[in-house]
Structure 1
Amino acid sequence: MRVIIVGAGEVGSNIAAGLADDHEVVVVDTDEERIESLTYSLDVLAIEGDGTTRGTLVEADVEAADMVIASTDIDETNIVVCGAAKTLDDPFTIARVKDTTLLETWEHAEGAFGVDFMVCTNLHTAETIVKIAGLPNAHDVDTFGDGLVQMAEFEIEPDSPIAGDTVAKADRYESLTFAALFRNGDVVIPTGETVIEAGDAVVVIGSTESVRRFAGSLTPTPTLEDASEIVIVGGSEIGYQTARLFEEEGLSPRLIEQDHDRARELAECLPDTLVLESDATDIDFLVREHIDESDIVVAALDSDEKNLLVSLLAKRIGVERTIGIVEYGEYVDLFETVGIDVAVNPRLVTSEEITRFTHAHRTENIAMLESDRAEVLEIEVGQDSLLHDNRIRDVIADLPNGVVIGAIARDGELITPRGETTVEAGDHVVVFVETDVLGEVSDAL
């Protein structure tokens, strides 16, 4: 597939990196330094130019393109890119936007703006925050099989009750599969004898109840259903969308916003949210409003530094869990080390969602892990699949290393796969796959 990506910032570069191995990728940007950097770092054709203009799109050979992805930091530019591409040919177009009103307009008018698929950074980031908040200690969460199957990634702390245990000892849940460990930059496919070490990131796949119980065994932090106090700091669009989504879950969060007009606007839009007008970096205010009794604090202010400061203050007064927005991807690991329990990078969330969508023609659903070092796929088994009418142990023996069958959804029921389990046509199989062998495995399954 030939893919043209307009915008070589953090989002565009991440998308290009995720697609370059399997597709013919062209990247367009007006910044000479970005183009030069991509030329030497990725196997892509990099073109310096304005992706909204006919000449640049012709130079990128848009007529031969299967897909055009507009990923600049300007919503209007991305929409114009898609519209311009449609005037020259009919590639599938994807636009990244931040403004949720543009998404609402597009959703209510099929094909609006010449955009075939739209990803809204602010909304998708808020959705990610709410999913992560739903499981204590989780760094990544996704669902498969129409909600029957859940995948989650957990960081194992030194004081974790399973640090030092074998997988066999830690696996005390009927409908749970330990799919992988991420350790010191490597992917470890565990056996029963594999020892779980502090610092590992553990990926589990299973029923929602089993994953929730496993999460609860790692930390006493309440799940979203048990959380009685959620505080969102910052009335940004992401902060607003996060509060709205929490309300949809039946919760009544508190939201702190310093600007008077914005606070009043939010109070009118969020009927089940208590909006407090104050400076959230004022520790006396935090103590006075009993923020220390909160189960979760979400930092959604307008700068990474402020979000880090709020998270540190929240931790200092006794808040169990903090989730913070971190705009610059290079800060994520640092901020998680010094003060934020989970750092959510909107650009990375967006690039992963777009990359996921470009892969989706092969599968029912995809979750990307650890910056695309591995993927969890949901595959509907057909007659020509290697899985069809075969036992799990026989299938795994014929596949490369780096593959784990995590769960099977059949006729609305969850089946926990074992070596003797036989897969049937029509089953939805959830599979963990290392990215290095993704193409081979996808073709086989």
Structure 2
Amino acid sequence: MKIVIVGAGEVGYHIAKSLYINNDIVIIDKDEEACDRARGLDIQVIQSNGANASVLGDVLNDAELLVAVTGSDEVNIVACMASKLIAGSTGSADDLKTVARVSNPDYIDQPVAKRTPIGIDVMICPELTLASEVAEVLSIPSAIDIEFFAEGKVEMLEFVAHEDNEMVNKKLVDIDLGDDCIVSAIFRKNQVIIPHGDDHIMKNDHVVLIGKSESMENIRSLFGETIRKRNKIMIIGGGVVGFYLANMIHMSNFDIKIVEKDRQRCDDIAVKLPHTLVLNSDGTDVEMLQDENIEDMDVVIAVTNSDEKNLLCALIAKQFGVKKVIARVDKPEYVSLFEMVGVDSAVSPRGATIKEVFKLTMGTSMQSITTLEGEKAEVVEYTITDRSKVAGKTLKKIDFPQGSIVSMVVRGNETIVPSGDYKVRPGDRVVMFSLQSALDDLKRMFK
């Protein structure tokens, strides 16, 4: 596939780095330093304005995907619109898909939207997506990630097995998860384990559980009760992500404090969220945190625009004994560092954009993809087509790549934890856990 990426920042560079081996990548950016870094990938790099119609016209020939991920919403929107017009002039508009990253709520009010009338096939708001993901995680004390598949019929939950968890030191075969749920993976330090019945869950393991959504509520008691009391939440950073998050949860069973350094921003938030306490201060001010009883917080969430500041805030919160700490991280190389030093969940706004781009590059059979543990693994949803190599075969006769496992299948309104005798049919929606090393083989298998 020929892919044109407008913007060579963290998101654009990461998309290029992930896809350049198997695709023809062209990246456009005005910044010389960003272009120099991108050239290290051995791809075509153009130092120019990515919204320039003349520049786009030179590179769009045979392109199947244009991804606009600069730091400017307007540049991203114009790049997509111009690309569609250019493709339309040659009769290939339907062959070119466009993706624009935007943050301004004037342009988008949901995590992912379609704006096809103006030439944008997928419009993504990473900040709103990130806030939505964190809001989901807040509903379960020990959860660090929650995702839904097959239009909500399948739920994936990643949680930390704390010392007092009744599953710790037990074999999986001895844990009653019912017939509608499966432990798909265990992350233990630097190990990724696709478990069998004889494997144990150990203290501090990160456990990935996939099951039928309506049955997961009954299973949650095994790894932490759902919230019944009013939990205390401190959000450090009142920017786009912090505001979106506070706005989503302010009507829920939470007492919320927002810490924001900019006075004008504090005033704006206070007007829009009158029942939320807004503190005009620095989230690294230890004296202020003590005055606000940070040790009594159930969750501290650091979502400023600085990775370094978020890490420092998270470490301070942990030092005061906060049980659950979530931190925003933009640089991919920092994710493992955050989790290594004790941050319970390192969340990235760039992930939403990358997931949507990956879906478009992996064919129409892919419906959803979720990255786990700093890209150590993925949970992927495929729809089986008549052309799929696995259609009509039983699971035990399919040579799945090493490092992958079928977790759930949705057939119509039925959600199934399949056995080896399950025969895959066209129309089935298959939810799979996969290591990064197996993704390309899965793509070919389900194509």
Structure 2: runs of 5+ lacking an equivalent: 88-92
Tell me if the contact between 1:246 and 1:252 (Cα under 8 Å) persists in the aligned partners: no
Q: Does residue 349 of structure 2 align to residue 346 of structure 1?
A: yes
Correspondence for 2:322 among 307, 319, 323: 319
What's 1:24 paired with? 24
Q: Distance in 1 between matches of 2:440 and 2:195?
A: 22
Q: Tell me the CA shift for residue 92 of structure 1.
A: 1.9
What whole-Å deviation, never above 9, does each CA across 1:337-366 have from its counterpart, x for those lacking one? Answer: 335322223234433343345446222222
Indicate which of 141, 152, 156 corresponds to 1:151. Answer: 156
> Paired residue for 2:64?
66
Higher RCO, 1 vs 2 (CA within 8 Å, ≥6 residues apart): 1
Does 1:204 pair with 2:203?
no
- Distance in 2, matches of 1:186 and 1:174, equals 27
1:28 aligned partner, one-letter code: I
Corresponding residue SS for 2:106: helix
Rounded to whole Å, the distance in 2 between the matches of 1:28 and 1:225 is 50
Within 2, Cα distance between the matches of 1:291 and 1:92?
47
More helix by share: 1
Q: Distance in 2 between matches of 1:131 and 1:105?
A: 15
Structure 1: unaligned runs, 5 residues or longer: none
Aligned partner (choices 366, 373, 379) of residue 369 of structure 2: 366
Is 1:253–2:256 an aligned residue pair? yes
SS in 2 for 1:190: coil
Q: TM-score, normalised by structure 1?
A: 0.83
Structure 2 CA distance for partners of 1:173 and 1:231, relative to 1, 3 Å: farther
Deviation at 1:195, TM superposition (A): 4.7
Q: Deviations over 1:16-58 (max 9, x none)?
A: 133234432222233445444434435x333333322244324
From 332, 341, 355, the equivalent of 2:358 is 355
Which of 236, 261, 265 aligns to 1:262? It is 265
Contact 1:298–1:323 under 8 Å retained in 2: yes
**What whole-Å deviation, never above 9, does each CA across 1:282-334 have from its counterpart, x for those lacking one?**
44544444443222111223433433333233333332211122333333333
TM-aligned CA distance change 1:342 to 1:213, over 3 Å: farther
Q: Is the Cα–Cα contact under 8 Å of residues 141 and 150 in structure 1 kept in the other structure?
A: yes
Q: Assess if the C-alpha contact under 8 Å between 1:292 and 1:317 holds in 2.
A: yes
Out of 110, 115, 126, the position equivalent to 1:121 is 126
In 2, the alpha carbon distance for the partners of 1:35 and 1:179 equals 40
Tell me the distance in 2 between the aligned counterparts of 1:258 and 1:183: 37
Corresponding position: 1:399 with 2:385: no
Partner of 1:57: 56
Give the number of equivalent residue pairs: 439
From 295, 303, 308, give the equivalent of 1:292.
295
Q: Does the Cα contact within 8 Å between 2:299 and 2:325 map onto a contact in 1?
A: yes
In structure 1, what is the Cα distance between the partners aligned to 2:296 and 2:211? 32
Q: Tell me, yes or no, if the aligned pair for 2:365 and 2:383 is still in contact at 8 Å.
A: no
Corresponding residue number in structure 2 for 1:5:
5
Show CA shifts across 1:363-383 (max 9, x none): 222223345453322233344
1:228 is the counterpart of 2:194: no
CA 1:442–1:327 in structure 2 vs 1: closer, same or farther (change >3 Å)? closer
Distance, in Å, in 1 between the alignment partners of 2:85 and 2:375 is: 33
For residue 41 of structure 2, what is the amino acid of its counterpart?
S
**Alpha-carbon contact 1:15-1:352 (below 8 Å) kept:** no
Moved more, 81-90 or 140-149: 81-90
- Write the letter of the residue equivalent to 2:5: I
What residue number does 1:100 align with?
105
Q: Which residue does 1:433 correspond to in 2?
A: 434
SS of 1:76's equivalent in the other structure is helix
**Conserved? CA contact 1:260–1:277, under 8 Å:** yes
Find the counterpart in structure 2 of residue 444 from structure 1: 445
Structure 2 match to 1:179: 184
The CA deviation at 1:71 is 1.4
Q: What's the offset of the Cα at 1:184?
A: 6.3
Q: Percent of pairs identical after alignment?
A: 33
Among 310, 313, 317, the alignment partner of 1:310 is 313
What is the distance in 2 between the residues matched to 1:32 and 1:260?
35
**CA offset digits 1:371-404 (Å, max 9, x no partner):** 5453322233344545545433233xx3332221
1:187-202 equivalences under 5 Å are 187-196=192-201, 201-202=206-207
Deviation at 1:229, TM superposition (A): 1.9
Instruction: Give distance in 2, aligned partners of 1:272 and 1:47.
Output: 49
Change (3 A) 1:375 1:248: farther
SS in 2 for 1:229: strand
- Could you tell me which of 145, 148, 151 is aligned with 1:140? 145
Please give the per-residue CA displacement for 1:191-223, whole angstroms capped at 9, x wherever unaligned.
2234556675433211346656666545x5x64
Alpha-carbon shift at residue 425 of structure 1 (Å): 4.5
3-state secondary structure, aligned to 2:231? coil
Distance 2:31 2:74 in 1: 18
The whole-number CA distance in structure 2 between the counterparts of 1:441 and 1:334 is: 29
Structure 2 residue corresponding to 1:239, chosen from 242, 267, 270: 242
- Pairwise CA RMSD of aligned residues? 3.5
